[in-house]
Amino acid sequence: MRVSSRLVLGMALWLGAAAAMAGITLTDDNGRVVTLPRPARRILSLAPHVTELLFDAGAGGHIVGVVEYSDYPEAAKSIPRVGNNLQLDLERIVALKPDLIVVWLHGNAQRQLDKLLKLGIPVFYNEPQRLPDIARSIEQFGRLAGTEAVALPVARAFLARESELRARYAGRPPVRVFYQVWEKPLMTINGNQIINDVITLCGGQNVFADLKPLVPVVSIEAVLDADPEAIGTAIIDANRRNGLESWKQWPHLTATARNNFFLIPADLISRPTPRMLEGAQQLCEDLDKARAKQPK
């Protein structure tokens, strides 16, 4: 039985129209179901990492507003600013007429977000907690913006590189790590923060993985009791004080005795984007240096 080309074309057009009418429905990282009637064309990004992920997903051209420190890629620097993660310019946000707002689940002030939700503009929460979540976020943003043709290959390439790194460092002797987020107050990460996944990928063991807060405050005494073999932190400027020098006053601390202090550029370790694998590569190499100093 032959089917006419006109009938095939008609069926294709009908299916396309039905898909468009169905809209786009996704569950965000806050467990909320978000539905768009059509791909977003005016997107507001309220976190630097979200801006970068949107560009990775091929949706950079649809971003109409960003927050401060959205500085990558270069094209992001010219997008209008609408405030920062603590204080947003709600009037400017409304004036930009976004059809989608993407926010950082634990990085934006909730009082400000509550006001945004009342505006009736679709809000999508994002917070990758594991490295594979970065690829998932890129895929989601590609769907939300209708740029899957760009997003899917980027996501697959990220997963392939992440898998290769994980396989390379699997089985190597563990290194006990203290990751310092901030010096005063002394802050670290628990096992649910994405940097912990980078440490684990490299064969490291986060000495504070079991604490409940995502970014817990700890005492100097707690770090000394944990006695990490290596201490790492993120740096914004290599010429600025990095916050690890104070640990050198404790000569019996294993990290100090072996001089295992490691600095990772902040953009490569603190932002959950594909560049995080560059930070992971550096941390893995640093932990290999620490392994070389382990007793035989």
Alpha carbon separation from 109 to 80, 94, 100, 290 (Å, rounded): 20, 18, 18, 39
The CB-side HSE value for 105 (13 A sphere, CA atoms) comes to: 14
Whether residue 2 has pLDDT greater than 50:
no
Segment 59-66 shows an average pLDDT of: 98
Predicted pLDDT at 250: 97
pLDDT band, very low/low/confident/very high, at 118 (cuts 50, 70, 90): confident
Higher pLDDT, 56 or 171: 56
Give the DSSP letter string of the chain.
----HHHHHHHHHHHHHHHHHH-EEEE-TTS-EEEESS--SSEEE-SHHHHHHHHHTT-GGGEEEB-TT---SGGGGGSPB-B-SS-B-HHHHHHT--SEEEEETTTS-HHHHHHHHHTT--EEEE---SHHHHHHHHHHHHHHHT-HHHHHHHHHHHHHHHHHHHHHHTTSPPEEEEEESBTTTTB---TTSHHHHHHHHTTEEETTTT-SSSS-B--HHHHHHH--SEEEEEES-TTS--S-GGGGG-TTSHHHHTT-EEEEEHHHHTS-STTHHHHHHHHHHHHHHHHHTS--
Positive or negative torsion for Cα 153, 154, 156, 160: positive
Q: Whole-angstrom Cα distance, residue 269 to residue 278?
A: 8
pLDDT band, residue 19 (cuts 50/70/90): very low
- Statement: residue 119 has pLDDT above 90: no
Better-scored residue on pLDDT, 113 or 265: 265
Q: For 243-255, how does the pLDDT look when each residue is reduced to its tens digit (9 = 90+)? A: 899 999 999 999 9
Q: Lowest mean pLDDT of 86-95, 96-105, 168-177, name the range.
A: 86-95
Residue 105: which pLDDT band, with cuts at 50, 70 and 90?
A: confident
Q: Which two tokens stand for residue 287?
A: 């932990």
The whole-number average pLDDT for the span 206-223 is 97
Predicted pLDDT of residue 114? 83
pLDDT exceeds cutoff 50 at 18? no
pLDDT at residue 169 is higher than 90: yes
Domains of the chain: residue spans and CATH: 19-156 (3.40.50.1980), 171-292 (3.40.50.1980)
Residue 239 scores a pLDDT above 60: no
Residue 206's closest CA among 196, 214, 194? 196
Q: What is the mean pLDDT of the chain?
A: 91
Window from 79-88, 144-153, 199-208 with minimum mean pLDDT: 79-88
Residue 7 clears pLDDT 60, i.e. is over it: no
pTM: 0.89
Buried b / exposed e over 73-84, threshold 16 CB at 10 Å, is eeebeebeebbb
pLDDT digits (tens, 9 = 90+) for 26-53: 999 999 999 999 999 999 999 999 999 9
- Say yes or no to pLDDT of 209 above 80: yes
pLDDT at 13: 53
Q: Report the pLDDT averaged over residues 190-206.
A: 97
At 112, the pLDDT band (50, 70, 90 cuts) reads: confident
Structure tokens at 207: 């000495």
CA 61 to CA 44: how far, in whole Å? 11
User: Which has the minimum average pLDDT: 136-150, 167-181, 226-240?
Assistant: 226-240
Whether 6 shows a pLDDT value over 90: the answer reads no
Q: Is the pLDDT of residue 17 over 90?
A: no
165: left (phi over 0), alpha (psi -120 to 50) or beta: alpha
pLDDT of residue 241: 63
